[in-house]
Amino acid sequence: MTVVTDSIVADMSLAPNGHLKIDWVREHMPVLNRIRERFEKEKPFAGLKVAICLHLEAKTAYLGKVIQAGGAEVTMTGSNPLSTQDDVCAALVEDGIRVFAKYNPSPEEYKSHLIKTLETRPDLIIDDGGDLITILHSERQDLISQVRGGAEETTTGILRLKALEKEAKLNFPMVAVNDAFCKYLFDNRYGTGQSVWDGIDRTTNLVVAGKTVVVAGYGWCGKGVALRAKGLGAKVIVTEIDAIKAVEAYMDGFEVMSMEEAAKHGDYFVTVTGNRDIIRKEHYEVMKDGAILSNAGHFDVEINKVDLNAMSKSVRTVRKDIEEFVLNDGRKVYLLAEGRLVNLAAGDGHPAEIMDMTFALQAVGLEYVSKNYEQIGKKVLNVPYELDAMVAQYKLEALGIKIDTLTPEQKAYLESWVEH
């Protein structure tokens, strides 16, 4: 394998550890392995360049290798400055994938890595949060013409894509991987539920049982975070802006109230809304001494850091990924991972068996767009149901689980409006 030499990574000597990490996750990603075997034979991406902007940790690296096995020339960059793992990046470069990414770059460096990735003039794009697509449709339209299409990982990115589509500015088809059943039912709910608490627990090393956890947002990710907080023994409060989701949270057994009220009760806060300023000045004013704040949404805008800094007389790092803010009245508030998504900035992201399905959808979704981009047109589309169902079937087979099939009589019964 030739090493791609124009990569930008922190330290190539870290590669052996990166290889170990990638080997470990590969053993736990049977669905993606099955797709890789087919890609190796069929080479669906032969002659194409693929740009991938994702949280650059081991599972993502393995997706890059699967796309490469499908014949693509792959370039990867990070979708968050704190989620990139330098050892994984070094291993990828050794495996012939071009990488522009390092842990904790300056904002300028981070942006330059995105731009360098686009300057490879990709035919296909995998995005997470919509940064590559936004740059292509705004400041670097000169790099857009050869792009066939792509796939987007997150709720946040899909919102941005739909805004582009609504203004009739989207230049190519994008598959909304987030909206596939095999994504949000498992990744958003069980993946986020587990990885957020893994990130918080390994960072704080404190007990959750008996404490009050405030979860802001009861989408699929919020549901998972609240469910696992309950499992850890916490009293859980949910805040929402959507009446239906609020009723759902109530019926699921959680207390539901406004953030104004919840702010007084929380020991832990986790924001999972995709929106800005969820926790802000008026909330810090009433918080308990020692409250721990974390975010699991894509961007670091959910916990307002400008307000927090303005209200604090001192700030210091008290433990890796924990900043202590001493407010002007002496109360302390702790912020994890700079308010960036805690499961990836202070952890390894979702479990491998979960990302197995998500990244299988990315791989087959990208293949679908690559083959059908002309017929699809310039729009945001869902992963076709057959591909979603195929990923679930592969997962069942990997788990050794057999399910029932309809008898001919049952099928006829379901399809008839007479025979009931």
Which alpha helices (DSSP H) does 232-351 contain, by range? 243-251, 259-262, 281-284, 305-310, 342-345
- Residue 78's closest CA among 94, 64, 96? 64
Ramachandran class of 168: left when φ > 0, alpha when ψ lies in -120 to 50, beta otherwise:
left
Identity of residue 406? L
Residue number, 86 or 128, with CB nearest to ligand ADE: 128
Q: How far lies 15's CA from each of 39, 87, 140, in Å?
A: 25, 5, 32
User: Which residue bears the tokens 């202590």?
Assistant: 324
Number of residues interacting with ligand ADE: please give it, by CB under 6 A. 14
* Complex with ligand ADE: residue 259 or 296, whichever CB lies closer: 296
Residue with tokens 């990569």: 7
Chain centroid offset of residue 271 CA: 14
Contact positions with ligand ADE (CB under 6 A) in 112-151: 128
Which residue's Cβ lies closest to ligand ADE? 349
User: Within positions 238 to 277, which residues make up the interface with ligand ADE, using CB under 6 A?
Assistant: none
**Quick one: which segment of 11-19, 53-61, 144-152, 369-377 binds ligand ADE (CB under 6 A)?**
53-61
β-strand 322-327 against 312-319: which pairing, if any? Answer: antiparallel
Least distance CB 341 / ligand ADE (angstroms): 8
What is the Cα–Cα distance from 32 to 349, expressed in whole angstroms?
Answer: 17
Q: In the set 35, 39, 57, 278, which binds ligand ADE (CB under 6 A)?
A: 57
Instruction: Using CB under 6 A, pick the residue from 35, 53, 101, 355 that binds ligand ADE.
Output: 355
User: Going residue by residue from 301 to 340, which x/- string records binding to ligand ADE, judged by CB under 6 A?
Assistant: ----------------------------------------
350 scored as a contact of ligand ADE (CB under 6 A):
yes
- Piece in contact with ligand ADE (CB under 6 A), picked from 57-65, 168-176, 224-232, 274-282: 57-65
- Minimum gap (Å) between residue 58 Cβ and ligand ADE: 8
At residue 77, what are phi and psi to the nearest 5 degrees? -140, 165
CA dist 235 and 149 (Å) reads 45
* Residue 76 and residue 359 in contact, taking contact as beta carbons nearer than 8 Å: no
Instruction: Report the site for ligand ADE in 191-210 (rule: CB under 6 A).
Output: 191, 195
- Cα–chain-centroid distance for residue 317? 26
Closest CA to 100 of 5, 12, 7: 7
- Between 59 and 78, how does the x/- string for binding to ligand ADE read (CB under 6 A)? xx------------------
226 in contact with ligand ADE (CB under 6 A):
no
Q: Which is nearer to ligand ADE, 50 or 333 (CB)?
A: 50
The residue from 216, 344, 383, 387 that contacts ligand ADE (CB under 6 A) is: 344
CB of 154 to ligand ADE, least distance (A): 6
Residue 403 CB, shortest distance to ligand ADE, in Å, is: 28
In terms of CB distance, is 118 or 354 closer to ligand ADE? 354
Helix intervals (H) in 243-376:
243-251, 259-262, 281-284, 305-310, 342-345, 352-376
Q: Which is nearer to ligand ADE, 78 or 266 (CB)?
A: 78
List interacting residues with ligand ADE (CB under 6 A): 54-55, 57, 59-60, 128, 153, 191, 195, 343-344, 349-350, 355
